[in-house]
Amino acid sequence: MMRSRFLFMTALCVSLGCSKSSDNGSGSAGGSGGDKQYQIAVIPKGTTHEFWKSVHAGAQNAAEELGNVEVLWKGPLQESDRDGQIAVVQDFITKGVDGICLAPLDSQALVPYVEEAKEEGVPVVVFDSGLDDESNIVTYVATKNYNGGALAARRMGELLEGKGQVILMRYTPGSESTTQREEGFLETLRKDFPQIEFLTTDEYGGTTPESSLDKATQLLEKFKDEVDGIFAVCEPNATGVLGALEETELAGKVKFVAFDPNAPLVKGLADGTVHGIVLQDPVTMGYEAVMAMVQHLEGNSLEKRIGTGEYIATPENMNTDEMKTLLNPEQFED
């Protein structure tokens, strides 16, 4: 008897605790936007990278601006856990949220579950990375990753003055957004700077800074005497490459263009070890995804594709106001 009462009390406390915490996010008190309350699940690829913290902040900004939206933020426990992300999608469908904003971990694996959501009456906005089959989604909110890759290629071309040998560090197979960047970089560089050669284009750095560090170190050791430039296609990748450059004492000598910033990379930009960082606008991405969902819920029609802008930061322009905010994007804090 005692025991069951105790459990009941615990259940009570926890449920009160969490309903309170979700109140924080909902901003339901104001209610300036509309009369209907929306509960929108935002599912990132993971929850530990800084990038996603900024997306979270953007989503939260949108919710606060609208006033009638509650953002439920939840990703898989591990960054590359497809099955975990599928489970989160299914659980939110079960919960009966009004809409799901999803950054799919896999362009193919998530397709049937988006379809399932549609069947259950839950609309899905996809952001950051695309899906193979986009027929069941409301819209796709993302950086034009191809353009981002092209920006990096142009910067690399300028840095090398049109000739030299470069390494392309890919991320991981099956990630649509990074594949786009890789394509953009490859094609633009081949087209606009035909005298630049690729030393390698099929090496994958993996999903963690550690795995990228290992891979980059191997590559740099191998091409020590030939390499003039290196492009890392996302943040964990770039962190690993920067470490590898320092380890092989090539930092500063090899032109290094990264994609997505973090503190060491920004510091590298100031030190001259990083020569360019392609910036996305994660805050805008989170904001636009939630906004698009609400637009859809209120019956407005939307473009199939919403861009959130891409920029390149260089040692020269990094101190402008625009670049400052993009380099240190707002992050979500509890």
- The binder of another protein chosen from 30, 36, 108, 161 (CB under 8 A): 108
Assess 36 for contact with another protein (CB under 8 A): no
Give the SS3 label for residue 166.
strand
Q: Are β-strands 276-280 and 310-313 bridged in parallel, bridged antiparallel, or unpaired?
A: antiparallel
Assess 322 for contact with another protein (CB under 8 A): no
Assess 210 for contact with another protein (CB under 8 A): no
Q: Which is nearer to another protein, 93 or 278 (CB)?
A: 93
Q: Which is nearer to another protein, 64 or 81 (CB)?
A: 81
CB atoms within 10 A of CB 218: 12
Pick the closest to residue 82 from 174, 216, 210 (CA basis).
174
174 dihedral zone (left: phi>0; alpha: psi -120 to 50; beta): left
Radius of gyration in angstroms for the set of CA atoms belonging to the chain, rounded to a whole number:
22
- The binder of another protein chosen from 50, 116, 183, 187 (CB under 8 A): 116
Rounded to whole angstroms, the Cα distance separating 228 from 55 reads: 34
Least gap, CB of 40 to another protein (angstroms): 12
Least gap, CB of 66 to another protein (angstroms): 17
Angle (CA) 265 266 268, round 5° = 60
Q: Are 175 and 206 in contact (CB under 8 A)?
A: no
Q: Which is nearer to another protein, 159 or 233 (CB)?
A: 233
Q: Which is nearer to another protein, 10 or 195 (CB)?
A: 10
Count of positions on this chain that bind another protein (CB under 8 A): 46
Assess 270 for contact with another protein (CB under 8 A): no
Least gap, CB of 207 to another protein (angstroms): 8
The CA–CA distances, whole Å, from 182 to 134, 168, 291, 293, 323 equal 21, 8, 29, 29, 23
Rounded to whole angstroms, the Cα distance separating 39 from 22 reads: 10
Site for another protein in 68-107 (CB under 8 A): 72-75, 77-78, 80-83, 86-88, 90-96, 106
Q: In this chain, which stretch among 9-17, 60-68, 150-158, 183-191 interacts with another protein, using CB under 8 A?
A: 9-17
139 dihedral zone (left: phi>0; alpha: psi -120 to 50; beta): beta
Assess 47 for contact with another protein (CB under 8 A): yes
Assess 174 for contact with another protein (CB under 8 A): yes
Least gap, CB of 6 to another protein (angstroms): 11
Assess 297 for contact with another protein (CB under 8 A): no
Assess 198 for contact with another protein (CB under 8 A): no
Rounded to whole angstroms, the Cα distance separating 135 from 115 reads: 9
Tokens at residue 5, please? 């009462």
Assess 121 for contact with another protein (CB under 8 A): no
Q: Which is nearer to another protein, 68 or 284 (CB)?
A: 68
Assess 19 for contact with another protein (CB under 8 A): yes
Least gap, CB of 137 to another protein (angstroms): 16
- The binder of another protein chosen from 165, 186, 204, 264 (CB under 8 A): 204
Pick the closest to residue 153 from 180, 190, 205 (CA basis).
190
Least gap, CB of 90 to another protein (angstroms): 5
List, in order, residues 6 or more apart from 36 with CB less than 8 Å away.
Answer: 68
Q: Are 170 and 182 in contact (CB under 8 A)?
A: yes
Which residues of this chain interact with another protein, rule CB under 8 A? 7-8, 10-12, 14-16, 18-19, 21-22, 39, 47, 72-75, 77-78, 80-83, 86-88, 90-96, 106, 108-109, 111-112, 115-116, 119, 173-174, 204, 207
